[in-house]
Amino acid sequence: MSAGVGPEANGASADEDHIRLTVPARPEYVRLARLTASSLAARLGFTYDEIEDLRLAVDELCFLLVGPGQGRDGIVSLTFSTPHDHDLVGGPALVIVGEGPVGPQRPHPDSHPQELGELRELILTALADEYTVSRTSDTVQFRMVTRRRSRT
């Protein structure tokens, strides 16, 4: 699953590593996004707790792109990068950028879009160092940055 991630991803290289993942916009593939993110974070020295947080955040953002239930028509593209020229304050970071199809306009009768939006925001604010979500008429995009915390 770590295709495209070479040993140089360990942080020795001055180059920024990019890993691209293109999957159908269906829930069963969110797992691949979590795995890829965890694998890269592990290489960056994230702790177990940080990786658990990261996985929850990846879940939140990816489900924004694939929607509930059976998923959506179309594909989700994800780019994972590990910039090595991080500023000294921030520490090693993992940047994930995603894009996917917008969902149908009519929400599921059982869902509470307002409330879940609020909760999603709460979750992401707590778990990601930075995130943005934007929409066009037919796509949803996100960008998230998570940093390894300094260890005491």
Partner 1 sequence: MSALGQPLPPASRSEFVEYRRTGNPALRDALVESHLGLAEYLARRFDRRGEPLDDLVQVASLALIKAVERFDPDRGLEFSTFAVPTIVGELKRHFRDKAWSLRVPRRLQELHLRMAPAVAELTHELRRSPTIPEIAARLEVGTDDVVEAIEAGRAYRWSSLDAPVSTGDGEPTSALAAKIGAVDPELAAVEERSQLAALLENLSPRDRTILTLRFYDGLTQSQIATQVGLSQMHVSRLLSRTLQRLRAAAGPTGEPPADI
Among 120, 122, 148, smallest CA distance to 51 is for 148
Stretch that binds partner 1, among 54-62, 72-80, 94-102, 139-147 (CB under 8 A): 54-62
Identified binder of partner 1 from the candidate list 21, 23, 38, 99, rule CB under 8 A: 38
Cα–Cα distance, 1 to 32 (Å, whole number): 8
Query: Would you say 56 or 75 has its CB closer to partner 1?
Result: 56
The minimum distance between CB 59 and partner 1, in angstroms, equals 6
Enumerate the β-bridge partners of residue 100: 140
Q: Angle between the 30-43 and 48-66 helix axes, to the nearest 10 degrees?
A: 150
Please name the helix (run of DSSP H) or strand (run of DSSP E) that holds residue 80, with its range, or none: strand 75-82
Residues of this chain that bind partner 1 (CB under 8 A): 1-2, 27-28, 30-31, 34-35, 38-39, 41-43, 45-52, 55-56, 59-60, 63, 69-70, 110, 115, 118-119, 122-123, 125-127, 151-152
